[in-house]
Amino acid sequence: MLYEVKVFISLKEAVLDPAGAAVKSSLHHLGFAGVEDVRIGKVMTLQIESTEDKIEAAVTEMCEKLLANPVIEDYRFEIEEVVSQ
Amino acid sequence: MKFAVIVFPGSNCDLDMYHAVKDELGVDAEYVWHDETSLEGFDGVLLPGGFSYGDYLRTGAIARFSPIMESVIKAANEGKPVLGVCNGFQILLEAGLLPGAMRRNKDLKFICRPVQLVVENGGTMFTKEYEKGQEITIPVAHGEGNYYCDEVTLETLKANNQILFSYKDDINGSVNSIAGITNEAGNVLGMMPHPERAVDSLLGSNDGLTLFKSILSHWRERNAITS
């Protein structure tokens, strides 16, 4: 089965995000005074050939080993089956 | 004494590192391409700065899985001196040989200039030729040198005297102004400033050469005792 997996990676709450802070300040300059916080993260889209019982553990391992750095980053992911046309 | 200078795709301080130990320190050195798997015959390992794998994903994240890294980890576990400078430091963090992680500099700027460092621990294999508290001038060149670790890790680093260098003035937002730390055993050092760029007064400073002299002098003492 072919799956499309979206992995979302963000800096942990406790870790200051200087790029996010700069974007927030720029949004304030544009007049969006209500913006209280901006956190910049990454989204990765993976196409993976796997099975229903293995896919979640495999993606978790990918995140822990390479895609995220657990010291400063959190991750979550969404798995969807790719329906053939 | 013979050093390995590891070369990753995107390393750009490898020539300076080689020059520092070969020409200025006067010992043997060899480049080792990241695809190699053995560090047999080397007494110390140097991971140079640069932008390995274009800093894709995170700095050092992909280089950390280069074939040579298993031998680097083995050399570290055997107690051999392992020095990672700048991107080399980032690779050591990603490899888990050192605790913590790097963030973008707090002001988002790439900082490239000589900075004042304070030698926080003078008794180690990397700093034995410095005095504790000595102020030295060594250049930095990084966009992601903002060192982060949690409070528990910071307390451990302090308690074990693992912080060897700190910035005299905070330049990038690093926790405790940390510029360089070792592992618990003290034989793996990661630092953002470039000692290999400060090995001759013609370059503006030779304070970095003292670090390489320390490694050599420690190695000579240890070998005299064991042989």
SS (H, E, C) B106-144: CCCCCEEEEEEEEECCCCCCCCCCCCCCCEEEEEEEECC
Q: Which one-letter amino acid corresponds to residue A19?
A: A
Alpha carbons A41 and B135: distance in angstroms, whole number: 38
Q: Kindly report, residue by residue over B122-134, the tens digit of the pLDDT.
A: 989 999 999 999 9
CATH assignment, B2-226: 3.40.50.880
Contacts of A72 in chain B (CB under 8 A): 101, 103, 148
Q: Locate the domains of chain A by residue range.
A: 2-15+41-81
* Average pLDDT over every residue of B44-65: 95
Residue with tokens 């004042």: B116
CB pairs under 8 A between A and B: 37
By three-state DSSP, how is residue B212 classified?
Answer: helix
Closest CA to A17 of A44, A38, A34: A38
How confident is the model over B84-139, as pLDDT tens digits? 999 999 999 999 999 999 999 999 999 999 999 999 999 899 999 999 999 999 99
Task: State the complex-level ipTM.
Answer: 0.83
Q: Highest-confidence range of A11-15, B51-55, B184-188, by mean pLDDT?
A: B184-188
- Touching check for A71 and chain B: CB below 8 Å? yes
Token output for B55:
């800093």
State whether CATH 3.30.1280.10 applies to domain A2-15+41-81: yes
Residue A6 has φ and ψ, to the nearest 5°, of -105, 125
Question: Tokens standing for B30?
Answer: 């060899």
Domain ranges of chain B: 2-226
Predicted confidence band of residue A14 (pLDDT cuts 50, 70, 90) = confident
Please name the amino acid found at residue B36: E
Nearest to A72 among B62, B101, B107 (CB): B101
